[in-house]
Amino acid sequence: MRIGFYPGCSLEGSSKEYSDSLFAVAEKCGIMLEEIKDWSCCGASAAHNLNHDLALALPARTLALAEKQGFEEVVIPCAACYSRIAGTKQEISNNVATRKKIERYIDLTLEADIKILTVFEFLQKYIFPVADGHIVNKLNQKTACYYGCLYSRPKETAALEQIENPMEMDKVMVKAGATPIDWAFKTECCGAGFTMSRTDIVAKLSGKIIEDAADRGAESIIVACPMCHVNLDMRRPEIKKQLNKEINLPVLFITQALGLSMGIPADQLGLNKHYVPTDKVVTCIVKKEA
């Protein structure tokens, strides 16, 4: 079966390392991901605040293209893209009139029956069955898995079994030989879309997340959302001012962490593209005992 891949804007820009590490892990395990041709913006953060039809039409176009190109499943690693596309799919499949209207806008037909996978659903379904043969390292550190808001809300499209205490990424980290911690900020807000306009709010909210993770002994924070990554990794100067202390806790994409356990070199996973140095994560790693 061909698995589609929707990068969205982040994975081609600020979170290129997320894309790189995902492909590196998939390649290692012999899984092919195929980019949807001619995909367009999902409309995240802007469209749904301005025009409801536009907010549906943008993801719908990508879904329709994916269907046309014969994909049965599409991996959407970005949490915001996932949220927008899953929400659109739900609204369109629940309402024939809406579907007809949107089909008219995008000039494409739409079944809306394609399966959308988050990155951890993809890992669970395709990488887990073959991972053991490829995992050669033990991450050997305490990690705080941070899910943020877009995977856990709204309930109708949530990609998590327990939205208030998700465990999906924690399971991946156990597989990679890390020890996920139990902490209080798994699904708290990082400041998300305020990353440009209100860095003070981002500093306050992201600061609390980083502080709680550090207080509970985490050695790294694991994320699966480009926006969370930007706020937690890039806004450290503001966070430092807010907390009145410096916390050098690196923030990794889940695919980077899993890639390290598979022995993929750090620069191939894009670990050199972060603001907070990731050396400590790498030095913790030990060879997995046979």
Partner 1 sequence: MARIGVFICHCGENISATVDVAKVAEKAGKLSGVAYSVDYKYMCSDPGQTLIIDAIKEHKLTGIVVASCSPRMHEGTFRKAAEKAGINPYFCEMANIREQVSWVHPKSDATTQKALDIVRTMVEKVKKNTALTPIKVPITKTALVIGGGIAGIQAALDIANAGHSVIMVEKKPSIGGHMSQLSETFPTLDCSQCILTPRMVEVAQHPNITLYTYAEVEKVTGFVGNFEVTIRMKAKSVDHSKCTGCGTCWQKCPSKKIPDEFNEGMGFRTAIYSPFPQAVPNKPVIDRDHCNYFQKGKCGVCQKICPAGAIDYEVQDEFLDVKVGAIITATGFDLKHADFFPEYGYGQFKDVIDGMMFERLASASGPTAGEIRRPSDGKIPEKIVFVACAGSRDKAKGIEYCSKICCMYTAKHAMLYKHKKHDGDAYVFYMDIRAAGKDYDEFVRRAIEEDDVHYIRGRVSRIYEKNGKLIVKGVDTLMNGDPVEIEADMVVLATAVIANQDAETVAQRMHISYNKHHFFAEAHPKLRPVETNTAGIMLAGACQGAKDIPETVSQASASASKAIGLFSSNEMTREPIVAVVNRQAPPNFTSCTGCMLCMEVCPYHAIEREEMKDRTGNLIKVAVKVNAGLCQGCGTCVAMCRNKSIDLQGFSNDQMLSEVMALLNS
How near is the Cβ of 184 to partner 1 at its closest, in Å?
A: 3
Stretch that binds partner 1, among 7-15, 21-29, 85-93, 159-167 (CB under 8 A): 159-167
162 binds partner 1 (CB under 8 A): yes
Q: Which of 94, 165, 248, 283 is the binder for partner 1 (CB under 8 A)?
A: 165
Does residue 272 interact with partner 1 by CB under 8 A?
no
| Distance of closest approach, residue 48 Cβ to partner 1, in angstroms | 20
Cβ atoms of 108 and 99 within 8 Å: the answer is: no
| Binding residue (CB under 8 A) for partner 1 from 107, 132, 164, 289 | 164
Stated as kind and residue range, the H or E segment containing 20 is helix 16-28
CB of 165 to partner 1, least distance (A): 3
Determine the interface stretch with partner 1 among 79-87, 183-191, 195-203, 257-265 (rule: CB under 8 A).
Answer: 183-191
Q: What is the dihedral of CA 164, 156, 66, 73, to 10 degrees?
A: 50
Site size toward partner 1, by CB under 8 A:
10
**Residue 212 CB: number of other CB atoms within 10 A?**
17
| 163 in contact with partner 1 (CB under 8 A) | yes
Q: Of these, 30, 50, 107, 155, which contacts partner 1 (CB under 8 A)?
A: 155
Stretch that binds partner 1, among 59-67, 104-112, 182-190, 266-274 (CB under 8 A): 182-190
Asked if 248 touches partner 1 (CB under 8 A), the answer is: no
Query: In the complex with partner 1, which residue's Cβ is closer, 146 or 253?
Result: 146
Distance, in Å, from the CA atom of 256 to the CA atom of 127, rounded to the nearest integer, reads 14
Residues in contact with partner 1, shown as a per-residue x/- string from 195 to 234 under the rule CB under 8 A:
-----------------x--x-------------------
Nearest distance in Å: CB 245, partner 1: 16
State yes or no: residue 161 binds partner 1 (CB under 8 A): no
184 binds partner 1 (CB under 8 A): yes
**List of residues 6+ apart from 283 with CB closer than 8 A:** none
- Closest CB to partner 1 among residues 103, 188: 188
- Distance between CA 132 and CA 67 in Å, rounded? 32
The two tokens of residue 42 are 């999902």
Q: What residues make contact with partner 1 under the rule CB under 8 A?
A: 155, 162-165, 183-184, 188, 212, 215
